[in-house]
Amino acid sequence: MSSQHNAVLYEYGLFDDEDKYCKNQQQFKAILNSGFTTVILWTIHVNEKGDLYYNDNLIVQNGMFEKQYYYLPKLINNLKSGNLVKTVVLGLSSGGTSDFKHIKDMFASSTGKETLLTNFKVLIDELPIDGFDFDLEEFPLENYTDTIVQLTLELDKYVKIITYCPYCDEDFWLDCLVQVYAKNDSKQIVSWFNLQCYDGGSGNNPEVWAKKIISYPSPLGILDSEAFIVPGYWCLYQSPEEVQDIFRELKQTDKGINGGFIWNSSDIFKVKHDPKDYAQAILQGLDPTIRAHC
């Protein structure tokens, strides 16, 4: 299966330690051959000292990469070896955490900033990732505008892709884009929004977000607002057939839409589907002729 569209999968709970990776080789191969073009390994956390954790386990501390994760570079390279997965990024943060508060606090001093960015640089040097996906869910969001903008600008020095994963408050996220654009010589760094359209974001309409980009009073540096919004759905509550119907309908009202995501890999196997079912649901919903390429 090949496509110019972006089918994104959040990988969660299958490969975040070596034992899981070894035990879940069948799931790994299913993801590798599924047709998903972007895989987001979920997720990195930051503690109050600037140490980085991959979910619950320490991965970088004091500029040192933890040996228990020496399997990860090979995993990431193998993900891209089949030529279907083009992009692998790391999630950053999640709901119910204080990661961005810790990042904000570290940025408040030159020593803290250096410590934090050194740890991120080590993570990037050790892992062949393409970038990061920011999932800020610490409220009020407005407390973290400067943090999001600063971290975006700093990490962009070392990676190719930064994405944001909002589920509410268009104005906050668009203001972040405005400031990134202005502080980067009128060039937009952020590649797209992974818009949550489930759970807390279940009322989101991708078309509304795209129109907000078009009408926003300040320059954002986004040429294609519809393609910039990559809506996502939760496979635990929506079958592949339902997901395909959603994207088919979105394509009618939001003709420039170019991708979608699924939350998450563990739930796909829990509901006894193959990842390919959901990748095809996104891709064929966006373009029914893709079936001919499978």
- Using the structure block, give the residue that is written with the tokens 């974001």: 201
pLDDT at position 292 over 50: no
Its domain, for residue 55, covers: 6-293
Do residues 108 and 101 lie in contact, with contact meaning Cβ atoms separated by under 8 Å? no
pLDDT band at 3 (very low <50, low <70, confident <90, very high): low
| Number of separate domains in the chain | 1
- Using the structure block, give the residue that is written with the tokens 């990732």: 129
Do residues 200 and 167 lie in contact, with contact meaning Cβ atoms separated by under 8 Å? yes
Q: Residue 25 burial (CB < 10 Å; 0-12/13-18/19+)?
A: exposed
Percent composition of the chain: helix, strand, coil (DSSP 3-state, to 5): 45, 20, 35
pLDDT band at 198 (very low <50, low <70, confident <90, very high): very high
Position 1 in a domain: no
pLDDT tens track for 138-170: 999 999 999 999 999 999 999 999 999 999 999
Position 117 in a domain: yes
Q: How many CB atoms lie within 10 A of CB 230?
A: 24
Q: Where do the DSSP E strands lie in 116-184?
A: 131-134, 161-164
CATH at 188: 3.20.20.80
The C-alpha angle with vertex 11 and arms to 9 and 16, in degrees rounded to 5, equals 165
Residue % of the chain over a pLDDT of 70: 98
pLDDT tens track for 120-142: 999 999 999 999 999 999 999 99
